[in-house]
DNA sequence: AGCACGCCGACT
DNA sequence: GTCGGCGTGCTC
């Protein structure tokens, strides 16, 4: 007997063993998608993980019910990749599978119920039934076939199970198990000539239609229309609308054998409408960089390309893609967010036409499934352009992986599991496939930069800007001084105000950037501007107004607010909160003529609103755009001559050891928005802490210096890139139970891991949907075995769950949290 | 993820 | 006294 270990796409640990019926012995292979029954009559699509002949002990096996499709299976390497992801990110394989497969590919059965034939005879007297049972009968008579969920919905209650089961026992209603294959090809009906007719034949047909006026008219119209528009066929709906407007006439013509309706499978995937053009020639600098990258690939699989903004990285990617395609291999081009990169899609399509497949989270599930199948079939897209989830698509001969803007934190998935980083997953996918990997960024992540410096990655820099683009002029303005002199105009310093005035008077545009990451409040000295940090963690502390204390999100330490500033000894701490919609009001007050719009969360999350806003700004219907970090990414507006950063200190003051790295990156990105073409743009950055090292270094455009300075501290405090982090989050409804469990877990882990354990500490949002949360952070220095550490952590958590202190506490792991 | 089993509070 | 709320554990 053959057995298959199957991964069920649920958040359950490990796999389940099923027996393979004889009829499937040859079609079931490792990677096959199979329908299995799991828990009662629920069915799931699982992935075969292993095949063997050892009869399992301790339980009966159920049989595999069906193989989804002959010959359709995940390749061994694809499966291997998914399992790596599962292990690395401490996520059950089922959950990885769930993330990897589009919903319609992991079809789940629903139990369909209906009245059995001849139920009337079985039920002599309806008074035998309970009130609930009669209610259920009522809805069945009305609706016929239904699944459980629908019955509940119609009766607006959740406890129909007992009554339904009673009816089932009485054999009045029956179960109809149907596995609905949701993946049905999308079809369209088209109308065309049944065959080619000569003009004499057509005359003959028309003569025969003298009495069928509608058909006669339809045929004449069609002859005229098809000639006029040079079309041979039309979609049926369009045909009826445009020609004759009579379904009956069409039917008649089909019956006469003049026309026919054909069913065509259509693709749900976007079709490229770009005209395929030439690849731009590279500048001398770009040419050299391309050569350097190719040179690195002789000995290294992964190369970091650091290219300043506007240096033309994309053009280099295009040349690399072209080369890869020439070798008959596939390319994966990863972007942090697809919505903001319409420009790149267009550009790639212009060069590679319909060889480019786009994959993103906004796609309909059926379209995703179609893309999946296409990539697994005989004619896959050679180039896949997509967001992080594109790493889950099947690849057959991957030759190149490009991760653009590799430092972007949106590559990391937070919720739900798997909490993976698209960049790191892509690197692993590339390695497993024997592909070359290119990471691109203007401000690389410290992790990648360190790998480049250490020689683990190849390192290539592109320092010259393409064309005549100039780096904008950066002006740091001290808000503290103007505040003291009472010269602020709302939230604008006189400098920013004057610049805005000048730009707006010239009919040019302004972007105002306001950071809004998280909700925390921090304390800053009103005199020297220094931000209060934790003594143990090198992270700014979060201020809680209601109890007037400071809390570190990393180690959990608490302290009172010092009476005077720790740095200058004279100033006092003031409460700072990243501002909100006030900016818009101030713009309206000081620039009543200006047309202003805000790009905040509700705009970004709505695709239509977002596009409308971008279009308005692009076409000049708006003068001032206020936004969060979204405005800093990937958008090019020619007429923007000024960018104002309202309060840069809120970037630096964020309670995260990466705050400064992010602040630097954001300021660089934001600067890149100003004056991309023509006249040199300006960036006004309003700060309080003028002396902050981040500002000194942004001004100098010295990434390496910035890295060197900050990395010393990272090393001292044992933060990435000098260590790896694993965050353990515990959740429970009871705050006290949770805290006790966390303390106990941390204590036990410390016995072995000692100072590598930080916390427990409260996250910035400590209670979500009635559940309290608490976090323990593990720092693993280089050289410590990560896989052994993970086993240890998991073991400790499992042990805790079994003791009374840990009862009911849920544990979540986040490997390499951001 | 569901769904059953099982234990405690608001009603007949 | 029961009904039914939800917490806990299992599913091949």
CA–C1' span, A628 to C2, in Å?
58
Q: What is the mean pLDDT of residues A409-437?
A: 95
Measure the CA–CA gap between A69 and A630, rounded to whole angstroms: 43
Domain contains A418? no
- Residues A633, A497, single domain; the answer is yes
Q: What is the DSSP string of A306-345?
A: EE-TTS-HHHHHHHHHHHHHHTT-EEEEE-S-SGGGHHHH
Tokens describing residue A266: 């259509």
- Considering the domain architecture, whether residues A587 and A693 belong to the same structural domain is answered as yes
Question: Is A168 part of any domain?
Answer: yes
Residue ranges of the alpha helices (H) in A540-658? 582-590, 601-604, 607-618, 649-652
Q: How large a percentage of chain A has pLDDT more than 90?
A: 35
- Taking residues A514-537, report their average pLDDT: 73
Q: Is the predicted pLDDT of residue A175 greater than 50, yes or no?
A: yes
Tell me whether residue A562 is in a domain.
yes
Residue A280 lies in a domain: no
SS (H, E, C) A127-170: HHCCHHHHHHHHHHHHHCCEEHHHHHHHHCCCCCHHHHHHHHHC
Note the pTM of the prediction, 2 decimals.
0.77
C-alpha dist (Å) from residue A155 to A148, A158, A159, A296 = 11, 8, 10, 66
Q: Does A165 have pLDDT greater than 80?
A: no
For residue A416, cis peptide bond before it (omega within 30 degrees of 0): yes
Q: How far does the CA of A808 sit from the C1' of C7, in Å?
A: 9
Question: Are A167 and A160 in contact, with CB atoms under 8 Å apart?
Answer: no
Domain boundary among A63, A90, A105: A105
Q: Which residues pair with A640 in a beta bridge?
A: A509
**Which nucleotide has its C1' atom closest to residue A38's CA?**
C11
| pLDDT tens-digit series, residues A334-353 | 998 766 667 788 889 889 98
> What distance in Å separates the CA atoms of residue A625 and residue A514, rounded to the nearest whole number?
11
For A576: left if phi > 0, alpha if psi spans -120 to 50, otherwise beta; the answer is: beta
Instruction: Inform me whether the pLDDT recorded for A602 exceeds 60.
Output: no
Asked if A170 and A119 count as a contact pair (C-beta separation under 8 A), the reply is no
Residue set of the binding site of A? 525, 528, 534, 537, 552, 555, 565, 568
Q: Which of A593, A629, A599, A594 is nearest to A614 (CA)?
A: A599
Domain boundary among A662, A691, A712: A712
Q: Largest alpha-carbon pair distance within chain A?
A: 104
Is it the case that residue A438 has pLDDT exceeding 80? yes
Q: A153: which 2 tokens?
A: 């919905």
- Nucleotide closest in space to A94 (CA vs C1'): B1
3-state secondary structure of A577: coil
Q: What is the pLDDT of residue A431?
A: 97
Domain boundary residue, one of A559, A578, A597: A578
- The answer to whether residues A647 and A501 belong to one domain is yes
Rounded distance, CA A417 to CA A424, Å?
A: 16
Residue A139 CA and nucleotide C5 C1' are separated, in Å, by 26
Token pair, residue A518, equals 């998280």
User: Which has more pLDDT, A28 or A107?
Assistant: A28
Provide mean pLDDT across the span A65-88: 89
Decide: CB of A808 under 7 A of nucleic strand C: yes
> Of A454, A71, A471, A461, nearest to A293 (Cα)?
A461
Same domain, A796 and A668: no
Round to a whole number and report the distance in Å from the CA of A169 to the C1' of B5. 21
Nearest CA to A34 among A15, A54, A60?
A: A15
Domain total in chain A: 7
A17 nearest nt, CA–C1': C12
Higher per-residue pLDDT: A731 or A327? A327
CA of A314 to C1' of C12 (A): 50
Do A703 and A605 lie in one domain? The reply is yes
Nucleotide nearest to A19 (CA to C1'): C12
Of the pLDDT bands very low, low, confident and very high (cuts 50, 70, 90), residue A161 is very low
Look at residue A109 in the predicted model and tell me its pLDDT.
Answer: 44
Cα(A800)–Cα(A744) distance, rounded to whole angstroms?
A: 8
C4 C1' to A163 CA distance, Å: 14
Indicate whether A585 and A505 sit together in one domain.
yes
Q: Are residues A549 and A583 in the same domain?
A: no
Asked whether residue A174 falls in the same domain as residue A57, the answer is no
Does A539 share its domain with A565?
yes
In a domain, A421, yes or no: no
Same domain, A645 and A749: no
Q: Is the CB of A771 under 7 A from strand C?
A: no
Q: Is residue A160 predicted with pLDDT exceeding 60?
A: no
For residue A663, give the nearest of A644, A646, A650, A681 by alpha carbon: A650
pLDDT, tens digit, for every residue of A1-47?
999 999 998 888 789 999 999 999 999 999 999 888 888 767 788 99
- Identify whether A279 is part of a domain: no
Q: Separation of CA A161 and C1' B6 in angstroms?
A: 18
**Residue A447 near residue A311, CB atoms below 8 Å:** no
Contact between the CB of A566 and strand C at under 7 Å? no
What is residue A396's predicted lDDT score, i.e. its pLDDT?
96
Among the listed residues A443, A385, A517, A495, the one whose alpha carbon sits nearest the alpha carbon of residue A672: A443
Instruction: List, as residue ranges, the binding site of A for Zn(2+).
Output: 525, 528, 534, 537, 552, 555, 565, 568
pLDDT by residue (tens digit) across A474-504? Answer: 889 998 889 888 888 888 999 999 999 999 9
User: What CATH number is attached to the domain comprising A447?
Assistant: 3.40.50.300
Nucleotides of B under 7 A from a protein CB: 1-4
Shared-domain flag, residues A211 and A297: no
Q: Are residues A705 and A749 in the same domain?
A: no
pLDDT category at A672 given cuts 50, 70, 90 is: confident
The nucleotide lying nearest A9 (C-alpha to C1') is B1
- Specify if A477 maps to a domain: no
Domain residues for the domain of A791 are 723-815
Residue A127 resides in a domain = yes
The CATH number given to whatever domain includes residue A782 is 3.30.70.600
């Amino acid at each position: 007997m053959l057995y298959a270990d199957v991964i069920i796409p649920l958040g359950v640990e490990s796999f389940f063993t099923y027996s393979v019926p004889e009829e499937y012995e040859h079609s079931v292979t490792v990677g096959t998608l199979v329908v299995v029954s799991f828990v009662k009559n629920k069915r799931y699509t699982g992935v075969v993980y292993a095949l063997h002949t050892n009869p399992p002990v301790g339980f009966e096996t159920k049989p595999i019910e069906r193989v989804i499709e002959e010959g359709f299976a995940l390749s061994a390497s694809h499966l291997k990749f998914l399992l790596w992801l599962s292990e690395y990110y401490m996520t059950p394989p089922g959950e990885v599978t769930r993330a990897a497969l589009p919903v319609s590919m992991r079809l789940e059965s629903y139990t369909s119920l209906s009245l059995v034939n001849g139920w009337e005879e079985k039920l002599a007297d309806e008074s035998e039934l309970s009130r609930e049972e009669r209610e259920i009968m009522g809805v069945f008579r009305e609706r016929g076939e239904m699944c459980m969920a629908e019955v509940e919905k119609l009766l607006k209650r959740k406890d129909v199970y007992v009554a339904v089961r009673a009816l089932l026992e009485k054999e009045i209603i029956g179960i109809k198990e149907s596995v609905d294959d949701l993946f049905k090809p999308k079809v369209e009906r088209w109308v065309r000539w049944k065959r080619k007719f000569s003009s004499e034949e057509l005359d003959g047909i028309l003569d025969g239609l003298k009495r069928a006026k509608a058909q006669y008219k339809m045929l004449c119209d069609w002859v005229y229309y098809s000639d006029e528009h040079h079309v041979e066929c039309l979609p049926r709906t369009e045909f009826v609308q445009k020609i004759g407007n009579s379904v009956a006439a069409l039917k008649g013509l089909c019956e006469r054998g003049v026309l026919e309706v054909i069913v065509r499978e259509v693709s749900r995937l976007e079709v490229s409408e770009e005209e395929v053009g030439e690849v731009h020639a590279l500048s001398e600098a770009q040419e050299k960089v391309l050569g350097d990258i190719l040179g690195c690939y002789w000995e290294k699989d992964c190369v970091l390309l650091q290219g300043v903004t506007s240096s033309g990285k994309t053009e280099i990617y295009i040349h690399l893609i072209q080369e890869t395609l020439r070798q008959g291999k596939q390319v994966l081009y990863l972007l942090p967010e697809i919505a903001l990169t319409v420009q790149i899609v267009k550009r790639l399509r212009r060069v590679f036409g319909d060889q480019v497949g786009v994959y993103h989270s906004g796609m309909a599930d059926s379209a995703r499934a179609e893309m999946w199948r296409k990539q697994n079939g005989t004619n896959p897209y050679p180039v896949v352009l997509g967001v992080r989830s594109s790493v889950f698509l099947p690849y057959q001969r991957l030759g190149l992986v490009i991760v653009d803007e590799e430092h972007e934190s949106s590559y990391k998935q937070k919720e739900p599991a798997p909490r993976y980083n698209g960049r790191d997953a892509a690197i692993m996918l590339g390695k497993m496939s024997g592909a070359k990997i290119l990471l691109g960024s203007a401000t690389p992540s410290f992790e990648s930069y360190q790998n480049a410096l250490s020689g683990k990655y190849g390192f290539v820099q592109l320092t010259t800007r393409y064309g005549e683009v100039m780096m904008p002029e950066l002006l740091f303005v001290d808000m503290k001084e103007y505040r003291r002199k009472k010269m602020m105009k709302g939230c604008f310093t006189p400098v920013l105000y004057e610049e805005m005035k000048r730009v707006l008077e010239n009919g040019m545009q302004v972007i105002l950037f306001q950071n809004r990451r998280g909700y925390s409040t921090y304390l800053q000295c009103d005199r020297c501007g220094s931000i209060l940090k934790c003594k143990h963690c090198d992270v700014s502390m979060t201020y809680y107004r209601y109890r007037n204390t400071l809390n570190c999100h990393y180690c959990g330490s608490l302290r009172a607010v010092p009476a005077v500033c720790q740095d200058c000894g004279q100033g006092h701490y003031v409460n700072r909160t990243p501002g909100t919609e006030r900016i818009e009001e101030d713009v309206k007050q000081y620039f009543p003529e200006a047309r202003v719009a805000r790009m905040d969360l509700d705009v970004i999350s709505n695709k239509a609103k977002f596009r409308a806003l971008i279009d308005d700004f692009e076409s000049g219907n708006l003068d001032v755009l206020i936004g969060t970090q979204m405005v800093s990414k990937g958008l090019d507006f020619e007429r923007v001559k000024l960018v104002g950063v309202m309060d840069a200190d809120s970037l630096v003051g964020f309670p995260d050891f990466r705050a400064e790295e992010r602040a630097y990156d954001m300021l660089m990105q934001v600067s890149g928005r100003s004056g991309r073409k023509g006249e040199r743009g300006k960036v006004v950055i309003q700060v309080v802490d003028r002396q902050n090292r981040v500002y000194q270094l942004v001004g100098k455009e010295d990434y390496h210096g910035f890295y060197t300075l900050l990395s010393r501290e990272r090393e001292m405090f044992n933060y990435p890139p000098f260590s790896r982090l694993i965050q353990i989050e515990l959740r429970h409804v009871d705050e006290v139970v949770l805290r006790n469990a966390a303390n106990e877990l941390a204590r036990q882990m410390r016995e072995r891991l000692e100072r590598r354990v930080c916390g427990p500490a409260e996250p910035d949002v400590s209670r979500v949907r009635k559940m309290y949360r608490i976090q323990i952070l593990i720092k693993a220095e280089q050289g410590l075995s990560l896989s052994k550490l993970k086993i240890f952590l998991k073991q400790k958590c499992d042990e805790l769950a079994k003791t009374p202190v840990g009862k009911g506490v849920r544990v979540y792991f986040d490997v390499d949290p951001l």
